[in-house]
Amino acid sequence: MQAGTTAKVAVVGAGSVGATLAYAVLIRGAAREVALYDVDTAKVRAQALDLAHGIQFMPMARVEGSDDVAVCAGADVVVVTAGAKQQPGQTRMDLAAKTVGLARTLMPQLVEVAPHAVFLMVTNPVDVVTYAALKYSDLPRTQVLGSGAVLDSSRFRYLIADHVGVAVQNVHAYVAGEHGDTAVPLWSSATIGGVPLLELDPFDGREPLTQEVRDAITHDVVHSAYDIIAGKGATAYAIGLAASRIVEAITNDEHRIMPVSSLVNGYRGIDDVCLSVPTMVSHDGAGTLLPTPLSDAELTALHRSADALRAAAAEVGL
């Protein structure tokens, strides 16, 4: 794989998420070439041109847009954002049949033009789509991963930081399991400044982190996307930033620990399902799964999440 400043990143889908992700990749300097692929010819070319006109104000890069999958040829990372749009009132799982069908068609085409790429799935329901992409591409486990709970973990850290009164960068906490309704916030391993969060005394003027507060934060982590979709039609900025950070970890070979979704086998009694746990991300893709400490309740919830994802995959013939 090319180093970050010379890497090629292909983004499949030129909608709001794909365009925002491409913008974030360019702003972060995570690629020297960004290729947008979409079947909507006018839209993909317009998005590419709009981005290219701003290159003067970013790290140097080249932007191209096309309705021909060949534009993705030779990519180091292929990010798939194309899929059915989630409507108000829909869960991510409601989208499964359409997006899995898209993965069945799309993945062989993408692998043909970019066989050595790491494939990052962002399309929802991302865990099921990642599993489908792995099956339909016949690629190694490491080479196909999903954005998973990276955004959920960012929401989790933001809400903790806001309540406790510290910078969000000082909160270390993860969400595991499904990117969706059975997500599992890992309270037991969360820390601030090396201090276990559940042992931290409230700072001056701040309320304690009671069970009631933790339950409210957990609810908001899971349901905040529905509020955003109801208000503006789609989420775009946060997922674009989250996915661009995964891309950067890959192109820069960072060995960064991120809760991405990948195929899990033999992890705390969980097998044959794609879900999120803290994972080492490098130019090889999804590497070692970390044995993050879990409480008994968290482990039970993680198994429940795995069961739900496995059932959803079975419903769409996987």
Active site residues: 179
> 155-175: string of b/e by CB count within 10 Å (b at 16+)?
bbbbbbbebbebeeeebbbbb
Crossing angle of the two packed helices 41-52 and 16-28, in degrees rounded to 10? 20
Q: Note the residue count of the chain.
A: 318
What does the alpha-carbon distance between residue 8 and residue 24 come to, in Å, rounded to a whole number? 14
What does the alpha-carbon distance between residue 36 and residue 11 come to, in Å, rounded to a whole number? 5
Owner of token pair 């400043």: 5
Owner of token pair 């406790």: 164
User: What is the DSSP track for 207-229?
Assistant: ----HHHHHHHHHHHHHHHHHHH
**Beta strand pairing call for 175-176 and 184-185:** antiparallel
What does the alpha-carbon distance between residue 220 and residue 305 come to, in Å, rounded to a whole number? 18
User: What is the DSSP track for 55-108?
Assistant: GGGSSS-EEEEESSGGGGTT-SEEEE--SPPPPTT--GGGGHHHHHHHHHHHHH
What does the alpha-carbon distance between residue 115 and residue 108 come to, in Å, rounded to a whole number? 9
Amino acid at 15: G
CA-closest candidate to residue 144, choices 177, 108, 176, 173: 108
What phi and psi values does residue 180 have, to the nearest 5 degrees?
165, -155
Cα-based distances in Å from 313 to 75, 134, 228, 294: 28, 12, 26, 25
